[in-house]
Amino acid sequence: MHPVHRPTDTSRPALLDRLRQTADNPARRILFTGATILTMDPALGTLDRGDLLVTGSTITAVAPDLQSTGATDDAIVVDAAGTLLLPGFIDTHRHAWQAQLRRTIPDVDDLAGYLTTTLARCAPAYLPEDMYTGTRLAALSAVDAGITTMLDFSHNSRSAEHSDAAVQALLDTGIRGIHAAMAPHFGAWDRQWPADLARLRDCFAHPLLTFRLAALATDEIAGPGLAHGPALARTARELGIGVSVDAVFGAPSSRAILDWARAGLLDEQVQLIHATGLSQDTWRTIAATGATVSLAPTSEPQIGLDSAVPAIDEALAVGVRPGLSIDVEVALAGDMFTQMRTLLAIQRMRAVNATHTSGAPGPVPARIRTGDVLDFATLQGAHTCGLGETTGSLTPGKQADLLLLTVDEINNLPLNDPTGTAVLGCDTRNIDTVLIAGQVRKWAGRLLDIDLPALRADAAASRDRILRTATG
C-alpha cells in the first residue's frame, strides 16, 4: 500500500470554495487523485492507487493515472491519498418520517409493540410540518453517514400536504431520494392514496427524485386496502413506477407472493422487504420473476420479525443478491456500517452453526465475505431500488454519487485490505467527503448547508408536540 500525504486542513476551505463557486457549471470537472478506489464494478475492480474524474453530475473516467495524459488539466484536483473512494451507500427502505422519535422504543420486543406505539399512537398525531422535520432529519443523517440514496417508505401519507412535506424534505437535503408512498395503518386520513401518486410524480419532477407505490404483503396488519394486489399493481403500472412491499413475513406472505406470480403481478419492478420465513417455492418464484429483495439486518433479529433471521442464505441459494436497509430508527441504528457487519456476523454464525447441528437440513451455506456485504450496500442496493443504471458503482456514465473514507486515522492505519477496512474498520467518523450527482454534500467531515441548532430545536419541538398529542 502507498504512503499517504493528504492536503493540510488549511488548504481545504479554498478548495471547497472553488467547488461551490463552480457547482452550477455542467462542464465543471473534478479529479480525485491518489485514492484507493473500490469501484464495486466487477469489470473495474479495486485500484490500489487511482484517479476518478467527474464531469458535471457524471463519472467520466476511472484509471490508475489520469493526470499524466493531460486530459484533466482543467479539472479541480482533490488529493484523495489516504482515503478509500467508493460509491455512496444505498438505503433500500427507511421510514424516514419517524426520525424525531429515534430510540423511543429501543427495547421493543416484537412487531406488535412497534405497531402499537409508533403507528397506532404516534403516527396519527403527525402534522405535515412533522413529516417534513422527521424526513429531513433522516435524510441529512443518511448523507452524513455516507448514504447517498434513500428509499423513504413513507407510510404516514394522511393527506396530500403530508406527502408534499415529506417529498420536499428529500429535495431540500440534496439526497437521491425515492419516495414510496403508502396510506397510514391506523387513524383518520384523506383517502387520497394511491391516486395522489400521479400528482406527486408530476408536481415534484426532479433528477434526484423517483417515486414508488408502497404497500403491505397481506391484509393481516391493516386490512385489505393496503395489501398489494391487482388494483395497486395496476395503478403502479399505469404510472410507470415500481412497487415496494413491506412486512413480507412467513406463510401468509409466501402464499401472497405465489398468487401474485400466477396473476402476472410479480416482476423486476416489485421490491420485497424483509422476506423472512418464506417457503423454498416462494424463493424460487422470486428468482424466476426477477423481483428484488431488501433485507434489514438489524430489524429482523432485534425486533423479531417472523423467524428473526435475515434471509440472506435463502436469497443467495436462488441467485438473488439483496440490498440492505435501516428500517425504523425508533429502535435501530441508522448507518450502513452496522447493517453490513450485522449481516456478515449473522450469516457466518449460521454457516458455522450448521456444521455443528446434527441432522441439519440441506447443504451447509458457504460463508459470505466482506466484499459481499459491501456489494449489497452499494451495487445491489441500487438494483433493488430500480436505480442500477444510475448509481451503486463507480462506473463511467453513472451519476457521481460517491464518498471518501479516511484510512490514515487511528482506527484504520495502516491500510491493508481495502474492502475489509471499509466494512470492518470504518465508521461514520471516517466519512470525510460525500458527493451526490457531483455536488458536495459533506466536506472535511462536516455536513454542509445545515443549521444544526435550528434542526435540533425543530426536532425537539416536533417530538414534544407529537408525544404530548399522542398521550392526550
Q: Residue 192, SS3?
A: coil
What are the φ and ψ backbone dihedral angles of 347, each rounded to 5 degrees? Answer: -65, -45
Sign of CA dihedral 179, 182, 188, 190: positive
Query: Which amino acid, 132?
Result: Y
CATH topology of 9-87+396-447 equal to that of 89-384? Answer: no
Question: For residue 16, is pLDDT > 50?
Answer: yes
User: Which position has the grid cell 485490505?
Assistant: 417
Give the strands of the sheet with 323-324, arranged side by side: 89-94, 147-154, 176-181, 209-216, 242-249, 270-276, 292-295, 323-324
pTM of the model: 0.95
How far is residue 363's CA from residue 354's CA, in Å, rounded to a whole number? 9
CA distances 145 to 88, 111, 438, Å, are 9, 26, 17
Question: For residue 9, is pLDDT > 80?
Answer: no
Confidence of residue 57 (pLDDT cuts 50, 70, 90): very high
Q: Where are the domains of the chain?
A: 9-87+396-447, 89-384
Q: What is the pLDDT of residue 220?
A: 87
Question: For residue 472, is pLDDT > 80?
Answer: no
Question: What angle, rounded to 10 degrees, do the helices at 230-239 and 196-203 form?
Answer: 20
Question: For residue 293, is pLDDT > 70?
Answer: yes
Q: What is the pLDDT of residue 273?
A: 98
- 89-384, what's its fold? TIM Barrel (3.20.20)
How far is residue 207's CA from residue 295's CA, in Å, rounded to a whole number? 26
Tens digits of per-residue pLDDT, 397-455? 999 999 999 999 999 999 999 999 999 999 999 999 999 999 999 999 999 999 999 99
Q: What is the pLDDT of residue 73?
A: 83
What cell does 76 get?
479541480
Question: For residue 353, is pLDDT > 90?
Answer: no
Query: Which amino acid, 299?
Result: S
Q: Quick one: what percent of the chain has pLDDT higher than 70?
A: 96
Question: For residue 195, is pLDDT > 90?
Answer: yes
CA distances 181 to 168, 170, 178, 455, Å, are 13, 13, 9, 25
Work out the average pLDDT over 365-374. 95
Question: For residue 321, is pLDDT > 90?
Answer: yes
How far is residue 249's CA from residue 254's CA, in Å, rounded to a whole number? 8
How far is residue 467's CA from residue 396's CA, in Å, rounded to a whole number? 48
Q: What is the pLDDT of residue 8?
A: 47
Q: What DSSP character marks residue 21?
A: H
Q: What is the pLDDT of residue 144?
A: 98
Cβ atoms 141, 99 nearer than 8 A = yes
Work out the average pLDDT over 297-312. 96
Q: Residue 58, SS3?
A: strand
Confidence of residue 1 (pLDDT cuts 50, 70, 90): very low
Burial class (CB in 10 A: 0-12, 13-18, 19+), 91: buried
Tens digits of per-residue pLDDT, 132-186? 999 999 999 999 999 999 999 999 999 999 999 999 999 999 999 999 999 999 9
- Return the CATH class of domain 9-87+396-447: mainly beta
**Polymer length in residues for the chain:** 472
Q: What DSSP character marks residue 415?
A: P
User: Which position has the grid cell 412491499?
Assistant: 245
- Work out the mean pLDDT of the chain and round it to a whole number: 95
- Secondary structure, 3-state, 110-137: CHHHHHHHHHHHHHHHCCHHHHHHHHHH
Q: What is the pLDDT of residue 454?
A: 97
Confidence of residue 300 (pLDDT cuts 50, 70, 90): very high
Tens digits of per-residue pLDDT, 225-276? 999 999 999 999 999 999 999 999 999 999 999 999 999 999 999 999 999 9
Residue 194: cis peptide before it, omega within 30 degrees of 0:
yes
Tens digits of per-residue pLDDT, 199-234? 999 999 999 999 999 999 999 888 899 999 999 999
Question: For residue 82, is pLDDT > 90?
Answer: yes
How far is residue 364's CA from residue 50's CA, in Å, rounded to a whole number? 39
Confidence of residue 2 (pLDDT cuts 50, 70, 90): very low
Q: How many CB atoms lie within 10 A of CB 246?
A: 25
